[in-house]
Structure formats: C-alpha cells, structure tokens
Amino acid sequence: MRPRLKKLIGTIATLVWLPIYALFAMGVGVHVLPHAHWLLSLLYYALAGTLWIVPVGLMLPWMYREPG
C-alpha cells in the first residue's frame, strides 16, 4: 500500500475514532460517576483523557512504515 494512502486511512480513522471515544467516555462518566467522590472523578477523567492515544499510537507506526 502506498504511504500516502496509508496516511489518509490513518487520518480518517483518527477523525472518526476521537469523537466516538470522547462521547463514550463522557457517557460513562456521566452515568457512572454522578455522585462519586471528586478524586475518583478526577482519576477517571485523567485516565479516559489519556487512553484515547493507545489505538492512535498503535496505528502511527503502520502509517509511517515504508512499503517493503
């Protein structure tokens, strides 16, 4: 696959993934943590705000790998 096409696919996948993940994380936070202690809420949102990068980080090496 050409590198340009891989970058396009990765960009589109990222643009689709982020809003879906953000809405899911927000929904879980709103439904599960409405009366939770502030520290638990802080930990959840810190973790949820960091975990979105895992799939994107796994996709980046694929996007920039030279065809072989």
Q: Which tens digits make up the pLDDT trace of 13-48? A: 999 999 999 999 999 999 999 999 999 999 999 999
Of 67 and 41, the one with more pLDDT: 41
Q: Do the Cβ atoms of 15 and 22 come closer than 8 Å?
A: no
How many domains does one find in the chain? 1
Q: For residue 25, give its domain range.
A: 3-64
**C-alpha dist (Å) from residue 59 to 2, 12, 29, 33, 54:** 15, 12, 26, 31, 9
Distance CA 64, CA 16 (A): 19
pLDDT score of 64 more than 80:
yes
Give pTM, 2 decimals. Answer: 0.83
- Whether pLDDT at 68 is above 80: no
pLDDT at 1: 87
